[in-house]
Structure 1
């Protein structure tokens, strides 16, 4: 039982560690694979296409406009759709184990 408590605490720590966004300037939408955890104050992921170049980065919510795609989930500024995170999968598995 203590193991499950430690597991949930561990997963909660990583879930609260900040927003992660893809960071790049490229002409190939699938070529953007680098990401980082956004610093305080930058609470959105953004993707902008201008003159054939795609720019992805962390931005403050106030900077989001109609010319920019903004989102607020981990790695949401990808051209390739991302599924549920591993953290969510592990957390739901741990909760199911508690009740089974």
Structure 2
């Protein structure tokens, strides 16, 4: 009996669906439960505007792949593209002068 209850509780969590941030702007914190068919979270930045949403997994592997993830609230961080460029530039400067 106890094992049955534990199994039902575990399965009920997965049946609730994926929860993603769904909003625009760098400080956005609105969350949503993704509707059926949207099984991944997405975060992208276009012209300085950050958009977070649910998406279909097929779009993760399209010809132009979109960054996506599949765990609850995994799209909370801001994309790091500009930070990586800054890190590479500072590493190059340090390498040249040391």
- TM-score band w.r.t. shorter chain: 0.5 to 0.7
Structure 1, gaps ≥5 residues long: 81-100
Out of 23, 34, 45, the position equivalent to 1:38 is 34
- State which structure, 1 or 2, has the greater radius of gyration over its C-alpha atoms: 2
Structure 2 match to 1:61? 57
Q: CA deviation at 1:62?
A: 1.6
Structure 2 match to 1:75? 73
Deviates further, 36-45 or 56-65: 56-65
TM-score by length of structure 1 reads: 0.62
Structure 2 match to 1:20? 19
TM-score by length of structure 2 reads: 0.63
How many residue pairs end up in the alignment?
Answer: 76
Q: Is 2:59–2:65's contact at 8 Å kept on the other side of the alignment? A: no
Q: Is 2:22–2:32's contact at 8 Å kept on the other side of the alignment? A: yes
Relative contact order (C-alpha < 8 Å, sep 6+): which is higher? 1
Distance 1:39 1:74, change over 3 A: same
Moved over 4 A (4+): 2-5
Q: CA deviation at 1:71?
A: 0.5
Q: Is 1:20–1:38's contact at 8 Å kept on the other side of the alignment? A: yes
